[in-house]
Amino acid sequence: MPTARSTPQHAPARDRAWIFGLLIAPSGVLANGVIQGGVLGYLLSLQAVDSGTQAYLIGLLSLPTSLYFLWSPVTDFFIRRRTWLLVGALLAALLTLLGFRQPQLSSHGALLLMLVAACCSQLVVSSAGGMMGALRSEQSRRRAGSFYQAGSAGFGALSAWALIYLSSRVSRNTLGLITAALIALPALFALAAPHQEQLLEQGLGATMRRVWGECKDTFGRWDALPYVACMVLPIASGAATGLLPGVAIQYGVTGDNVAWINGLVGGIVTAAGAGAMSLLRTRMRAPVLYSVVGLVNCACLATLWLGPMRPATYYVGVLLYVFTLGACLAVFTAVVLEFLGEAGKSGSARYSLINSLGNIPVLYMLQVDGWGGDHGGARGLAAAETVIGAIGAVALLAYFLIRKPARTHLAGEPPSV
């Protein structure tokens, strides 16, 4: 029976890793731009919705990014993953358009439409993950992960800036049309996505047996545990990203400068950090590289912990932090794909489950960073994430360097260190 690590038959030359920066754009626009990037919050404030209610509503609409593994297995069946990506993006665009057309964005009708749109957009994530798992070489996977994270951050930041800028210049209906276009149009690149095998050609029974075998091959082995540790340890969690604007005033930074550094500029620099990893050529294993880049990320955040409380410290520290955070996100995706192995029949489901584990550190590090900020101000916040993140990175790095657990390599790849 073929397993999740069976050798593929197609040449790596047609992998087209760059295309994943465009394929993830529908999710980047909706999740990172509209919902979490400030567009929805800004529009709600124009309708006199208070901050507490805004936080609750945005939190509700953000739930699909953590729970999408519950419905993502559907993208492994019936039609090709690139078709599921198109379906998810087009449905998300349509539902978002209908949500923007509601008189009140805080109404039950608008929220329901936006929530279902957010769920549909996660089909883009699971489909893209399954397609990345089907790439034929380790180098292609790493480059795909870099473009994937760069596209997610870049499209999120640019769409948030553009939509907020246009919100006072066009009608809500027109803004909804523009938003829907930003979600839907990049998904058309799925038509040029790498080759995808037809699913369920062996019948339901044989397919489900193969799926069970692939899940056992991925999760039912001892060396899966250190990969799980990669997901749940507080390495480059990025939790400080949303908290740093709140302490910017302690460095003498206020108003528009915070909006630029932590908004559009920060998003573009994060995307640049992720994209830069596509240029890196190394035989270092993904978890080892993840630990090393995570330590660099901690060192950059330490600038805000140990540097003078001046605006220049904030600007330099934040930009270095988000650049290396983007690099960490790219390598994190490479770790997920290395853990996943070959996509097989259940690549989207397994990718979604593994990727969802990566949200756990964000949740508990938000509390840790908040505790640090309460007890030590801006320095305490930066110190908390720096120290805890460095401990996690060093522990993981020590394990992989000492144990060097064996794994089956993808076709055409030399053993890595």
Would you state the pLDDT for residue 322?
Answer: 94
Phi, psi of 10 (to 5 degrees): -105, 150
The segments of the chain whose pLDDT lies below 50 read: 1-13, 408-417
Would you state the pLDDT for residue 261?
Answer: 86
Q: How many CB atoms sit inside 10 A of residue 163's CB?
A: 24
Q: What is the largest CA-CA distance in the chain?
A: 65
Would you state the pLDDT for residue 11?
Answer: 39
Note the pLDDT tens digit of each residue in 215-240.
Answer: 877 887 888 888 998 999 999 988 88
In sequence order, the 6+-apart residues with CB closer than 8 A to the CB of 224 are: 218, 339
Contact 40, 167 (CB under 8 A): no
Q: How far is CA 297 from CA 143, 219, 307, in A?
A: 20, 29, 15
In the chain, the N- to C-terminal Cα span, in Å, equals 30
Would you state the pLDDT for residue 109?
Answer: 95
Lookup result for tokens 């358009």: 97
pTM: 0.84
Would you state the pLDDT for residue 223?
Answer: 81
Contact 111, 61 (CB under 8 A): yes
Would you state the pLDDT for residue 243?
Answer: 83
Would you state the pLDDT for residue 411?
Answer: 40
Note the pLDDT tens digit of each residue in 309-326.
Answer: 999 999 999 999 999 999
Structural domains in the chain plus CATH codes: 15-190 (1.20.1250.20), 214-404 (1.20.1250.20)
